[in-house]
Amino acid sequence: MSESAKLAVAGLISVALRRKLNRVIDVEWLLHNDDYAREVMRIARKQEMPELSQYAARMDELIFGKAIAVQSAPVVQDTMRKSTVVNDGEDEVGIENQYIGALR
C-alpha cells in the first residue's frame, strides 16, 4: 500500500482520537513502529465509535494485513507520546513572536 494512503488514514485516526480523548498521537511514528501502531488501534477500537473502528480496521489492513490484524496487540505503555514542538531558545521564541497578529 502507498505511504500516502497510510498517512491519510492515520491522520483521520489522529483527528478522531484527539476529539474523543483529547489525546494526541504521533502519526509518523505510527507508520514506522508496529507496537505503537497496535496500541493506537487498540485504543481506537476501545472507544466503540463506528468511525474510529472503521479507521482502525482500515489501518490494520494497510499496515499488517487482515490476518495479522486479529492478533492480540501487546500493550505498550511508553510509546504514546504527545507530538508537540517546544522552542527552548530565546531566539526562536522571538522569531515566532513576530508572527503574532501579523505576517509581515
Partner 1 sequence: MNISINFKRNVEMGKSMNWCQKGNRKCGLWLNTPAFLLFMLLSMNVAAESSQDATLPAAAVATSGTDAANIISPAQVDIPETPAQVVVPPPPTAPYAVGFDKINTGDTAWMLSSTALVLLMTIPGLALFYSGMVRKKNVLSTALQSFTIVCLVTLIWVVIGYSLAFTPGSTPFIGGFDRLMLNGMFYDKTGSTLTVSHIASSIPESVYVMFQLTFAIITPALITGAFAERMKFSAMVVFMILWSLFVYAPVAHVMWEPSGFFAASGILDFAGGTVVHVNAGIAGLVCAYMLGTRRGYGREPFSPNNLIYTMIGAALLWVGWFGFNAGSAVASDGRAGMAMLVTQIAAATAALTWMAIERIYKSHATMLGACSGAVAGLVAITPASGFVGVGGALSIGFAAGFFCYWGATSLKRMLGADDSLDVFGIHGVGGIVGAILTGVFADKVIGGIDASITMQIVGTFSTLIYSGVVTWIILLMVDLVIGLRVSDDDEQDGLDISQHAERVI
Could you give phi then psi for residue 48, rounded to 5 degrees? 55, 40
By C-alpha distance, which of 7, 4, 22, 1 is closest to 55? 7
Least distance from partner 1 to the Cβ atom of residue 67, Å: 26
Stretch that binds partner 1, among 12-20, 40-48, 59-67, 71-79 (CB under 8 A): 12-20
State which residue, 10 or 41, has the beta carbon closest to partner 1.
Answer: 10
Site size for partner 1 (CB under 8 A): 21
The rounded distance, in Å, linking the Cα atoms of 59 and 66 is 10
Q: Is 15 in the site for partner 1 (CB under 8 A)?
A: yes
Least distance from partner 1 to the Cβ atom of residue 103, Å: 6
Least distance from partner 1 to the Cβ atom of residue 36, Å: 17
- Show the cell assigned to 87: 522552542
Check if the beta carbon of residue 47 is closer than 8 Å to that of residue 102: no
Provide the binding-site residues for partner 1, judged by CB under 8 A.
Answer: 4, 7-8, 11-12, 14-15, 18-19, 27-28, 95-104
